[in-house]
Structure 1
């Protein structure tokens, strides 16, 4: 059975992983018969948001500990990830992708990957093992493509004309608009992306369908 790494960025869409997307990812991988292990950075979140009020708090939370809520405790520090052990890597969305996995929330188009994330993703990108990114996580994918010197890699965040799609294109890649239940496949680079909650009004069923489209494409690429 092929095995992939799933990288979480916390728990909660405003400051970590989007929970519906993350759970849908684990469900869809299971449906496709793809085994997985979960990882997350072992460091403090950029900040903590009260998800009831939408306002920031003075709390400090650890990304790995928060991700354990989603992974039912079965999650390892990202620095322990051994790319050689996995056929691919998957990044669910949530603003944690822009805040905890890269510096887009602070630096916009001047963003960079955090060192632990860069060390995890680049071996997959350079070996052209499949990389899957959901919702806001294609920012991570596009930064890795830029780091690898790729250009015009096909990546989606759903629809164009938003700060994320603009950044993807500013980094030399090609943004492809797709509907909520579709995935974008770049077969040349083995990149797979899907919009999910980039469509804010999407239902949970549509989010699952979006993620299932991405994992179905992953199954096809893995063979």
Structure 2
């Protein structure tokens, strides 16, 4: 899970991302309460946004008094997964924005309309949709790809008997020039230079409340960075 504030990430995203981010303007406007954009990538862990992560983010943002606007790219999904089987649903096509609206309860806008002039921070929930429908890989890798030397975490760097099944992602972060910081699932890492906050979330096989607590730590640090 990835969250960021400030012009650095949005400048890099505008260079690296597909046309849907062409209108992502890089300026900042200070308001109270904090105004946070949440960018979704569909609905469902294997082909879109991880629903529990998105819900936890929204709960913690609400508790923190933030104003939230959700966005998603208005593009076809890479593919559709039958989550009961974990396999692609052949000959089925879905739209990322339409699917994301399920999580947003209909209150969502096209990612093309997102500008940093309207927000103090942006949060990208995890899920394989961040890999398949945005840029390269699970959302912290997004920061490593577009911000040279960014510090992020996806948890641990060894699988540890299956507790961290996606530990290899740390290697991908390093290959992209990022710095991986080992953290527990209940923790968040703050890259103060780039104003990027990450937490492992479902990179770890653990109880749901631990993931919820880690997301809470991430949101708390994001709101702290906004100064609101």
TM-score, normalisation: structure 1: 0.81
Q: Find out whether 1:61 has 2:94 as its counterpart.
A: yes
Partner residue of 1:40? 72
**Alpha-carbon separation, structure 2, partners of 1:80 and 1:220:** 25
Partner residue of 2:176? 171
Q: 1:160 aligns with which of 148, 157, 162?
A: 157
Q: 1:193 aligns with which of 198, 202, 211?
A: 198
Looking at CA atoms only, which structure, 1 or 2, has the larger radius of gyration? 2
Contact 1:158 1:176 in 2 (8 A): yes
**Equivalent residues, number:** 186
Gaps in structure 2 of 5+ consecutive residues: 1-32, 159-166
Superposed, 1:1-223 pairs within 5 Å as: 1-58=33-90, 59-104=92-137, 136-145=138-147, 150-151=148-149, 153-161=150-158, 162-199=167-204, 201-223=205-227
Question: SS of the residue aligned with 1:37?
Answer: strand
**Alpha-carbon separation, structure 2, partners of 1:45 and 1:97:** 11
Runs (4+) off by over 4 Å:
none
RMSD: 1.1
Contact 1:9 1:67 in 2 (8 A): yes
TM-score, normalisation: structure 2: 0.79
Contact 1:157 1:194 in 2 (8 A): yes
Query: With CA pairs under 8 Å and 6+ residues apart, which has the higher RCO, 1 or 2?
Result: 2
Q: CA deviation at 1:103?
A: 3.8
Greater helix proportion: 1
Question: SS of the residue aligned with 2:127?
Answer: coil
Partner residue of 2:10? none
Gaps in structure 1 of 5+ consecutive residues: 105-135
